[in-house]
Structure 1
Amino acid sequence: MTKISRTTKDVASGTAGGIAQVLVGQPLDILKVRLQTAAPGTYKGLGDCASQIVKREGLLGFYKGTLTPLLGVGVCVSIQFGVVEAVKRRFNAENAKVARTDLSKGQLYASGALAGLANSIVAGPVEQIRIRLQTQQTRLYAGPLDCASQIVRQSGPAGLLRGMLPTMLRESQGMGVYFLSYEFLVQRHLAETGKQRADLPSVMAMLFGASAGVALWLSAYPLDVIKSRMQTDAISPSERRYKGFLDCASDIYRSAGPRGFVKGLAPTLVRAPFANAATFVVYEWASRQLEPHVK
């Protein structure tokens, strides 16, 4: 096999992890988005939302818009892991100058936050298209490309960046907590057992990934609600309900109070352990397979 760079290994491993994340978590992500964006009273709760999807759209309704996240999330997660590992290597090089062998919690958080900011450039447009496909009750869009073309046609290329501010805030805060949580748990386990990273058991990667996923959403969920509301607003600027980030947040608070910012949290917290356990197990596995071929 041709030798590859460490960055290529990180990106390829992240792509594999991202695909696993989508396949495992998509049905619950549909429920989260529907609950976040529906008018008050539309659903009585998680179970009612699920039953209405089955009744109106069949079981395949839980996989609406899957093509977009399969392509987009694979790219997004590859960016996350590619950037976070590159920044960690930079911090390690700086630490080596002062004879420090491990990364501080602040460095781990900063690595994740920078990865989140880099990822948000792709995540914003991808998630808007995915969410519009997930929430359509009738066939408004023929697919991802048709959805993107309608957005550009009605609001210009900038329309694809709708909700970018909450996306950037969510990604930086969420990914900072995400990678800090995972790496902290991994490093503690390795220190306690005396094992090397390559010997990390898959079951531990699952548990640590599940914990990191829950920590991510608990730290950044309100921003995700605002993002989803903005990204399902009318495409045409003249018909939009929200003027921007603060206006959307104010409207949520006026109409639903603090509870409005945690709407749809239940399916998210159910989904997070499974989707992120799959992400890290597959990432660690792919990373180990590719490691012998790194230059």
Structure 2
Amino acid sequence: MADKQISLPAKLINGGIAGLIGVTCVFPIDLAKTRLQNQQNGQRMYTSMSDCLIKTIRSEGYFGMYRGAAVNLTLVTPEKAIKLAANDFFRQALSKDGKKLTLVKEMLAGCGAGMCQVIVTTPMEMLKIQLQDAGRLAAQKKLMASQAGPNSAVAESVTARPTAIQISRQLLRSDGIAGLYKGLGATLLRDVPFSIIYFPLFANLNKLGQKTPDGKSPFFVSFLSGCAAGCTAAVAVNPCDVIKTRLQSLQRGVNEDTYSGIIDCARKIWRSEGPAAFLKGAYCRALVIAPLFGIAQVIYFIGIGEFLLGLLPSRRD
């Protein structure tokens, strides 16, 4: 099985390219997901994903839907690269003599990948959420200012939205590097179960298209398998994603709760908004993750990284 050894640099390139393409395609839906998850009972600005996107375009312009995309595009390459490459590394480490991995070992490999990726995911999500939610908070303040009158204190409080660099500097100055890792526990709570579900499910779905045990599945099978596995895992861990989003939001709207930790956040959401609140943004998240991982797996299995590194020709001999 020596010819099955994984080229780590190639996998890192594949994961990075996949992340860039995927995020560019689905970022507006991710923005809607964040805003829907963050709004609490009371000042609700949006009723659905489409309502959120329409209002965002009207108030912030087309590029308002991509607010926070620069942070995501910068960090998604190492994040996706680590996630995909780590899963392959752990699968290879857990396999013995080329034997098929058991489901438990597939889940352990996914768990390892999820734990590795939070090194990049947590600060990326932390900054992205502040930028994505700034438009919702600004719209809420404008609405209150229009209701209160032009000379009110509320009207004067509508200020310019911060940039990622400003937020980073403020967090580093006040809390050090720990400031960028606010919500680390909640991120682990979301990403580890996600990887445990996603990677084994994808691997088994993708095998359905393999004509031989060592062959590759067709292009469309990898894509559909990535979409199906990503969608399933995303919806399954959505309650954890809601908690993570709330904990990582530094600014709150009027009359919105603040939280001291994961348990406090879950308790307050359940008590004030009901169990259905844990599914906020689930539809958007499924629409984000499904194509994101479908695209990722296609690029991953096409082997763009291997081609760029000139590894494909060497496999012919």
TM-score scaled by structure 2? Answer: 0.82
Q: Which residue of 2 aligns with 1:104?
A: 102
Instruction: Report the alpha carbon displacement of residue 287 of structure 1 after superposing the two structures with TM.
Output: 5.0
Give the number of the structure whose alpha-carbon radius of gyration is greater: 2
Q: Letter of the aligned partner of 1:56 in structure 2?
A: S
- Counterpart of 1:64? 67
| Aligned residue runs from structure 1 range 1-295, under 5 A | 6-40=7-41, 41-92=44-95, 95-96=96-97, 101-137=99-135, 138=138, 139-142=160-163, 144-190=164-210, 193-194=211-212, 196-197=214-215, 199-234=216-251, 241-285=258-302, 286-287=304-305, 289=307, 290=309, 291-292=311-312
Q: Which amino acid aligns with 1:67?
A: A
The runs of at least 4 consecutive aligned structure 1 residues that moved more than 6 Å come to none
The one-letter code of the counterpart of 1:183 is A
TM-fit CA distance, 1:196 = 4.1
Q: For the residues of structure 2 that align with 1:231 and 1:294, how far apart are their CA atoms?
A: 47
Letter in 2 for 1:146: Q
Long gaps (5+) in structure 2: 139-159
1:104-131 per-position Cα deviation (integer Å, ceiling 9, x unaligned): 1111111111101010121111110011
Aligned AA (1:184): N
- SS at 2:53's partner residue? helix
Check the 8 A contact 2:82/2:116 in 1, yes or no: yes
Q: For 2:313 and 2:88, how far apart are their aligned partners in 1?
A: 17
For these two proteins, the number of residue pairs brought into alignment is 279
SS in 2 for 1:107: helix
Query: Residues 28 and 53 of structure 2 are in contact (CA less than 8 Å); yes or no, is this contact kept in structure 1?
Result: no
Q: Distance in 2 between matches of 1:255 and 1:162?
A: 24
Q: Which amino acid aligns with 1:88?
A: R
| Cα distance change on mapping 1:126 and 1:172 into 2, 3 Å | same
Name the aligned partner's letter for residue 289 of structure 2: A
- From the two aligned structures, give the one with the greater helix fraction: 1
Cα pair 2:231 2:290 within 8 Å, conserved: yes
Counterpart-to-counterpart distance in 2, 1:293 and 1:69: 34
Residue 155 of structure 1, CA deviation: 3.3
- The aligned counterpart of 2:147 is none
Paired residues of 1:167 and 1:227 also in contact (CA < 8 A): yes
Q: For 1:218, give the aligned amino acid.
A: V
CA RMSD of superposed structures (Å): 2.2
CA distance in 1, matches of 2:30, 2:88: 27
Shift of 1:47: 2.1
The residue matched to 1:78 in structure 2 has which SS?
helix
